[in-house]
Structure 1
């Protein structure tokens, strides 16, 4: 997307994130390469808006605690592609509408990030970067899947006091964020961490704190776009 193609009114803080995102590679997010046969197509919506001028925030949801997979885990809106979806952007916006009531016309898609493969679930996830140009109230629509919706201020995400590492029972260790009463980890935290670096928003932090995640329920085999592991 060139400067002339960018939507009118796009906040200045989108740079250099937008330019970096447009040329980003899989390696910017994960060392895991998708297999030749690909994976199950899916998409998530990385929706940035403003709570106040010059104060960007990020829309996330928290999965219901009763779900069989990734119970209680914060995530981007999104899910598996339907046969009727035109492209990853359509998938991400449709899922966001179904999950939290997002009006697709209120968001402007800016870039598709590289598809990221999640071996544990065989999902091939395309993060869709978008600007929430007309924010409106959102809320859980699928109460059996979504417990809570929040707009996480970037200022809180980059605060060194809110950044930690987590260790999964499998032994995987990755970045995490504590914000608005949520612990954001796994795939979602990995994408957020990479985008904060691209935007030049990250602040130096000491990755000394390590939190052990609880073991998953025996009934939880895994398998969702936001499950783990980058």
Structure 2
């Protein structure tokens, strides 16, 4: 599984530069345990071109799931032994495989152009590798297993950067984190945090009201 950067559209240049320079602590305050603990997983951050310009592929998890039910997220999941070395190409294989299983995506149309540092989700113990892909040859996508996924859709980057679609969430435990109000839903948690950092370090972020608060328990 190669990471290739040639032939990317010019609008992806800022993201590519951010991938090359960003440090783990710039993406999240939650980093993998030093003792190697945690369940290895990967997500696919897939960027393509839509009718309104650059767009991002997201899924809505089924409401019946035991963990993270109903949340909007990147396609992804745990590494399988067949995916290979977690320190090598394993996360790339896992991200593409999980995206195919969840959305029907044809991985042959995806050019992986970068891999972000591993991050950590303390509540679930997942060590997550974000894999960035350019949807060079778009394929039809949709819900493959309704028991796992409720919805598959793309969100224009223009909507994600729109100040009217941005807010801070008040977590039930008291801390605040960025959220995106798009597609009649709220993107929050790990997914929103990664999107927020990509927009920031790619220079796509527009000024928005960080004092606007959304009580997360109303949407979780």
Q: Answer yes or no: same fold by TM over 0.5.
A: yes
**2:43 pairs with 1:44:** yes
- 1:117-156 CA deviation, whole Å, 9 max, x = no partner? 1111111100001100011220011210100011000000
Q: SS in structure 1 opposite 2:181?
A: strand
Q: Is the CA contact 1:165–1:175 (under 8 Å) kept in the aligned structure 2?
A: yes
**2:183 pairs with 1:185:** no
Structure 2 equivalent of residue 161 of structure 1: 164
Which among 23, 26, 31 is matched to residue 24 of structure 2? Answer: 26
Q: SS in structure 1 opposite 2:83?
A: coil
Structure 1 equivalent of residue 202 of structure 2: 199
Structure 2: runs of 5+ lacking an equivalent: 85-89
Q: SS in structure 2 opposite 1:195?
A: helix
Structure 1 equivalent of residue 5 of structure 2: 6
Q: SS in structure 2 opposite 1:114?
A: coil
Q: SS in structure 2 opposite 1:110?
A: strand
Q: SS in structure 2 opposite 1:16?
A: helix
The TM-score with structure 2 as length reference comes to 0.91
Structure 2 equivalent of residue 152 of structure 1: 155
How far has the Cα of 1:6 moved from its partner?
2.6
Q: Is the CA contact 1:169–1:215 (under 8 Å) kept in the aligned structure 2?
A: no
Structure 1: runs of 5+ lacking an equivalent: 218-230
The aligned length equals 211
How far has the Cα of 1:91 moved from its partner?
0.4
Alignment partners' CA distance in 1, 2:110 and 2:219 = 35
